[in-house]
Amino acid sequence: MFRPLGRCWPDVIQSAPARIELDGAERVVTLTDGTQLRADQVLVGIGITPNTALAEAMGLEVNDGVVVDERQQTSNAAVFAVGDAARIRTAGCGEVDRVVLL
């Protein structure tokens, strides 16, 4: 499953990316069903599974990563998390998403 950036979007594209090409200043993502999406930027995250054992043992909120706010603060006000293991609440809709560092 492929999701455009902005997990608040209700659309989830059911076709996977097959190719990414440059067309002038734009990137063109061609999906396996032939659909083409144009974008200024494309972000790709592949196969990251966060190790949350320590956070779970500390009683922190975990949801496929350590849940943090916009300041990277966890459910314990004295603990902050960053990097691949952190999941941030998306501004505007409050949905939790992980930003993978490449």
Q: pTM to 2 decimals?
A: 0.51
Query: What are the extents of the domains in the chain?
Result: 1-44, 53-98
pLDDT at 55 over 80: yes
Tell me the average pLDDT of the chain: 80
- The amino acid sitting at 96 is V
Tokens (6 digits) for 41: 């930027």
Mean pLDDT for 42-65 is 86
CA distance 29 to 47: 19
The pLDDT of 50-78, averaged and rounded, is 92
Q: Using the CB atoms, write b or e for 12-24: b if 16+ within 10 Å.
A: ebeeeeeeeeeee
Instruction: Report pLDDT digits (tens) over 7-40.
Output: 554 455 677 889 999 999 899 999 888 989 888 8
Strand order in the sheet with 17-23: 17-23, 26-31, 36-39
